[in-house]
């Protein structure tokens, strides 16, 4: 399947660009939600088979499903196809929505929470309020869940949005951001598991967090949380968030520390960016490039990461691949995302016969584009058009730059989310 909708336009007559896009496409194909779930989950007679684990349906009074995040709707469609009438009820909250036979599907907002998200989250809590010790709750958790699954503690939604925005603008990483989110929530940081108690819970997790720490993926709604109120306070103090938001205080909530709520919870990672990176490496090698996965935990300031890729020692027919999530300190009023900013910063440093791509696995780099492709040809063309890289960087306006210069990677919403994908290809 071809995920990159503007591949022909981007490639032009450049074989190097074409190869780089084929390698990226292999990464997208490897994290297809439908393929992953059908490979790992099946119903054999009366048993739900997940990897080597077996769950006998007749042992449960009811089987419920909750889907949260950017893989939730596609995942729910697959789970319905596999389990059919075994499912009693379910609630699905995603940036996509559609018709499901056994579950209720809702479209929420991302990257910021909203009253719509709060309303659907309350329906999830209501469903869980009716489960008992003889029930099974299947939960699909994926990136985007921190904003979508939203039930603020002692604050309104607007205040939560302000706090989220200020942390993001300040360059807080996902661990810092989600530490605060957990302690401003009634459902994250293991609290969904508490709502589901004493039912048995199986969480199918699509990881979009560096290092695959499941307690931070979607802010860990079914995972025991080791962070405390004090940890969240340190983050708020570090970035001076109360002052920036005009708040005198934030009443934080401690996450559940009683292990009884997690004794019947099984958390399973079913996909991560490692799956995409391995597929990209294999595709590059089939195309004749020596290939190396640098890391699946890439982090740092986006523009610095972009420059470091561009300035790597050039190696003929070599492909460097990485996965992770960078940050952007927002100082301007422009539009864009961390992937576009990384490529924008790299442009003046890219030598001939080298292509650099940074793209979001969910197809949304804080905009309607997945990311960008850069090379010396695009940079020269941008100069001819009078586009100044530094000026666009100062305004954090990478989206408008690539709109004018070309180079945007267009996938649409992919239905997957395993953090960002990076590749550097040398001819």
Query: Which of 271, 305, 320 is a domain's end point?
Result: 271
Radius of gyration of the chain (CA): 22
Q: CB burial class (10 A; 0-12, 13-18, 19+) of residue 305?
A: buried
Residue 1 resides in a domain: no
Mean pLDDT per 10-residue interval, the chain, length 427 residues = 96 97 98 95 96 95 97 97 97 96 96 96 98 98 96 97 95 95 98 98 95 95 98 98 96 98 97 97 98 96 98 95 94 95 98 98 96 98 98 98 98 93 97
pLDDT of residue 1: 87
Residue 330 resides in a domain: yes
Q: Are residues 11 and 138 in the same domain?
A: no
Q: What distance in Å separates the CA atoms of residue 28 and residue 406, rounded to the nearest whole number? A: 21
Query: Measured in whole angstroms, how far is the alpha carbon of residue 55 from the centre of its chain?
Result: 29
pLDDT of residue 178: 97
Query: Which of 271, 287, 309 is a domain's end point?
Result: 271
Q: Are residues 20 and 85 in the same domain?
A: no
DSSP-assigned letters across all residues of 177-196: HHHHHHTTBSSTTTHHHHHH
Q: Are residues 172 and 56 in the same domain?
A: yes
Residue 144 resides in a domain: yes
pLDDT of residue 211: 87
pLDDT of residue 26: 98
Q: Are residues 241 and 302 in the same domain?
A: no
Q: Are residues 311 and 278 in the same domain?
A: yes
pLDDT in tens, 370-395: 999 999 999 999 999 999 999 999 99
Q: What is the mean pLDDT of the chain?
A: 97
Q: What distance in Å separates the CA atoms of residue 150 and residue 90, rounded to the nearest whole number? A: 17
pLDDT of residue 278: 98
Q: CB burial class (10 A; 0-12, 13-18, 19+) of residue 125?
A: middle
Q: Are residues 237 and 323 in the same domain?
A: no
Q: Are residues 346 and 419 in the same domain?
A: yes
- According to DSSP, the residues that pair with 404 across neighbouring strands are none
Query: Which of 248, 271, 294 is a domain's end point?
Result: 271
Pair 201, 265: CB distance under 8 Å? yes
Q: Are residues 247 and 279 in the same domain?
A: no
Q: What distance in Å separates the CA atoms of residue 165 and residue 170, rounded to the nearest whole number? A: 9
pLDDT of residue 155: 97
What is the CATH number for 353? 3.40.1480.10
Q: Are residues 179 and 257 in the same domain?
A: yes
pTM, full prediction: 0.91
How would you list the strands of the sheet with 104-107, edge to edge? 104-107, 87-94, 63-68, 136-141, 200-206, 265-271
Tokens representing residue 266 in the block = 């099984």
Residue 2 resides in a domain: no
Q: What distance in Å separates the CA atoms of residue 295 and residue 421, rounded to the nearest whole number? A: 11
pLDDT of residue 424: 98
Instruction: Find the Cα–Cα–Cα–Cα dihedral 375, 168, 156, 158, rounded to 10°.
Output: -50
Q: Are residues 253 and 360 in the same domain?
A: no
Q: Are residues 21 and 142 in the same domain?
A: no
Count: domains in the chain? 2
Identify the domain containing residue 172 by its residue range. 33-271
pLDDT in tens, 283-305: 999 999 999 999 999 999 999 99
């Amino acid at each position: 399947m071809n995920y990159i909708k503007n591949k022909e336009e981007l490639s032009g007559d450049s074989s190097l660009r074409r190869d780089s896009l084929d390698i990226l496409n292999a990464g997208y194909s490897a994290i297809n939600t439908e393929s992953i779930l059908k490979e790992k989950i099946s119903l054999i007679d009366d048993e739900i088979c997940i990897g080597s684990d077996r769950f006998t349906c007749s042992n449960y009074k009811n089987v419920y499903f909750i889907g949260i995040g950017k893989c939730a709707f596609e995942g729910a469609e697959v789970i319905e196809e596999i389990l059919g009438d075994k499912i009693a009820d379910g609630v699905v909250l995603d940036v996509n929505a559609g018709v499901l036979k056994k579950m209720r599907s809702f479209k929420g907002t991302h990257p910021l929470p909203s009253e719509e998200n709060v309303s659907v989250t309350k329906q999830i809590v209501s469903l869980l309020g009716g489960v008992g010790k003889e029930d099974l709750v299947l939960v699909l958790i994926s990136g985007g869940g921190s904003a979508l699954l939203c039930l603020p503690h002692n604050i309104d939604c607007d205040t939560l949005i302000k706090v989220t925005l200020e942390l993001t603008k300040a360059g807080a990483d996902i661990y810092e951001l989600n530490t605060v989110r957990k302690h401003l929530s009634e459902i994250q940081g293991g609290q969904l598991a508490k709502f589901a108690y004493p039912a048995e819970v199986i969480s199918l997790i699509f990881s979009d967090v560096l290092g695959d720490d499941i307690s931070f993926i979607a802010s860990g709604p079914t995972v025991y949380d080791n962070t405390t109120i004090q940890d969240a306070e340190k983050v708020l103090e570090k970035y001076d968030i109360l002052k920036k938001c005009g708040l005198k205080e934030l009443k934080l909530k401690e996450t559940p520390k009683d292990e009884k709520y997690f004794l019947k919870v099984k958390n399973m990672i079913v996909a991560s960016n490692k799956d995409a990176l391995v597929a990209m490496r294999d595709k590059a090698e089939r195309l004749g490039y020596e290939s190396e996965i640098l890391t699946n935990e890439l982090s740092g300031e986006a523009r610095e990461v972009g420059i470091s890729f561009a300035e790597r020692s050039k190696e003929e027919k070599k492909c460097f691949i990485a996965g992770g999530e960078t940050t952007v300190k927002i100082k301007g009023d422009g539009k864009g995302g961390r992937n576009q900013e990384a490529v924008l910063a790299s442009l003046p440093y890219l030598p001939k016969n080298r292509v650099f791509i940074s793209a979001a696995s969910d197809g949304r780099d804080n905009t309607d584009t997945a990311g960008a492709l850069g090379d010396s040809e695009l940079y020269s063309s941008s100069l001819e058009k009078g586009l100044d890289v530094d000026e666009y960087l100062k305004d954090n306006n990478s989206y408008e730059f690539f709109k004018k210069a070309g180079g945007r990677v267009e996938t649409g919403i992919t239905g997957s989310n395993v953090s960002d994908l990076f590749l550097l290809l040398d001819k």
